[in-house]
Structure 1
Amino acid sequence: MDAVAAPKVMREPRTERGRRTQRAILDAAAAEFGEKGFHESSIVSITIRAGVALGSFYTYFESKEALFKALVQDMSCRVRDHVAPVLARHGGGAIGAEGIALAAFLDFARQHKEIYRIIDEAEFVAPEDWRAHYLNTAARILERLQAAHAKGELGVEPSEVHAWAIMGMNVFLGLRFGVMDGIADLAEVAAAANALLKDGLG
């Protein structure tokens, strides 16, 4: 399964100030789209929330649609960047690594509940980016599983089915315990899910 590169829709800032402004617009858009959805949000309301001039918006984004597409790509990358350092510090085996990755994702989902509404809407507003988000996430999981299998850590040869099954479990656990439930012990949730993987793949 190959990763997919969605077309780049953000204009790259040339200065640190520009990067901060673009980040402010993306963060405001996440809050706005997360609260109101794509169709009820406006560029004006996003720039007001971001504390930037309306003209600044068009320096970085061509339209509301372009901003939404950029936001889907940005949130997908932020999930990856939130999980990757945690995995890098993990010195155990593959099954344990998936538990660590899940715990990190649950933490991200709890901090950024809007990701679910934004990714769900992306299926219709930005379908290429929606597809790329899931394909790339599953590709990263499969790559980890294949590396573990090569080391003799897994009892079965991993396939795309295994990667998508793990991702599906993670997505719905994030919905239940990251978005719907703000008090559950995320480490316990990850450990329970990890036990399923240990018995199924170990």
Structure 2
Amino acid sequence: MRSRESKGDILDTIVNLPKTKRGQKTLNKILKAAEELFYEKGYHSTSIIDITNKSNIALGTFYIYFKDKFNLYKYLLLIYSHEIRKAVAEKITESDSRYDKEKIGLYAFLNYMRVNKHVYNILWESLYIDKNIFVDYYESFSLRYIEGLRKSQQTGEVSEVDLTVLSYVLMGISNFIGLKYVMFENAEDVDFEAVVDSVMDILENGMFNK
């Protein structure tokens, strides 16, 4: 698992971030074990003892970082949100047009999900753990999305449509295209470029004949 380091005041309420490399290594072991167990067994069927046994740490060590399993789960979702945004942002940095940002961003999202299929399972289970987490996850994505869409709308590239609706339309496309071609199909056999081209053709030309 990649090094899990994040910043922000919100983290203070859910995780005690380590100050040493040794502490970060221990935290990463906890996160990796929890991630695998949540994916394999689900949140409710996974206990803190399961996590500490799998990560080969003492029970007390767990509580150095998290006060409970729920906060550990919330921290994982924050990590996924950060990683997805980073994966997309790194690819669209040099893109000038909204069209290119959407095309390259969707391709980056699909590739992230290709190697992180577990994210779908763990994220969507949040709807049955605490609906507020599920809502907050997508609402935060929407708000950030709207910022970029508004700039493109101001330049005239994006039409005068409701940006909240548009952000959810675009997120919905990404989510369900990902489900189809990453979860339902063998992602290694899928031509993501062709899939993305089809999506962009629909976005650019619409679904209705004029």
Which band: TM-score by shorter chain? 0.7 to 0.9
Greater alpha carbon shift after TM alignment, 32-41 vs 7-16? 7-16
Aligned equivalents of 1:40 and 1:62: distance in 2? Answer: 18
Over residues 13-49 of structure 1, what are the superposed CA-to-partner deviations in whole Å (9 max), with x where a residue is unaligned?
A: 1112222221222222121101110111122222333
Aligned equivalents of 2:55 and 2:108: distance in 1? Answer: 27
Q: 1:126 to 1:71 in 2, by over 3 A?
A: farther
Which of residues 76, 98, 108 in structure 2 aligns to 1:94? 98
The count of residues paired between Structure 1 and Structure 2 equals 195
Corresponding letter in the other structure for 1:128: N
Aligned equivalents of 1:159 and 1:6: distance in 2? Answer: 27
Greater alpha carbon shift after TM alignment, 11-20 vs 49-58? 49-58
Which of residues 126, 132, 135 in structure 1 aligns to 2:130? 126
1:152-163 pair list within 5 angstroms: 152-163=156-167
Q: TM-score, normalised by structure 2?
A: 0.84
Corresponding letter in the other structure for 2:99: I
Corresponding letter in the other structure for 1:68: Y
Shift in Å, 1:61: 0.9
Aligned equivalents of 2:183 and 2:58: distance in 1? Answer: 32
Aligned equivalents of 1:152 and 1:128: distance in 2? Answer: 35
Which of residues 34, 58, 63 in structure 2 aligns to 1:58? 63
Shift in Å, 1:6: 6.6
Shift in Å, 1:128: 2.7
Aligned equivalents of 2:25 and 2:137: distance in 1? Answer: 24
Aligned equivalents of 2:66 and 2:96: distance in 1? Answer: 43
**Which residue number corresponds to residue 32 of structure 2?**
27
Q: TM-score, normalised by structure 1?
A: 0.87
What secondary structure, in the 3-state scheme, does the structure 2 residue paired with 1:12 have?
Answer: coil
Shift in Å, 1:154: 2.0
Does the 8 A contact of 1:28 with 1:46 survive in 2? yes
Q: 1:130 to 1:93 in 2, by over 3 A?
A: same
1:45 aligns with 2:45: no
**Which residue number corresponds to residue 5 of structure 2?**
none
Larger gyration radius, structure 1 or structure 2: 2
**Which residue number corresponds to residue 204 of structure 2?**
198
Instruction: Calculate the aligned-residue CA RMSD, in Å.
Output: 2.0
Greater alpha carbon shift after TM alignment, 32-41 vs 63-72? 63-72
Shift in Å, 1:157: 4.0
What secondary structure, in the 3-state scheme, does the structure 1 residue paired with 2:172 have?
Answer: helix
Q: 1:49 to 1:159 in 2, by over 3 A?
A: same
**Which residue number corresponds to residue 115 of structure 1?**
119
Corresponding letter in the other structure for 2:17: E
Alignment gaps of 5+ in structure 2? 1-8
Does the 8 A contact of 1:146 with 1:158 survive in 2? no
1:179 aligns with 2:183: yes
Query: Which is bigger in relative contact order (C-alpha 8 A, separation at least 6)?
Result: 1
Corresponding letter in the other structure for 2:168: W
Shift in Å, 1:158: 4.9
Task: Give the % identical residues.
Answer: 31
Over residues 148-189 of structure 1, what are the superposed CA-to-partner deviations in whole Å (9 max), with x where a residue is unaligned?
A: 122222233451001101101110111111222222111221
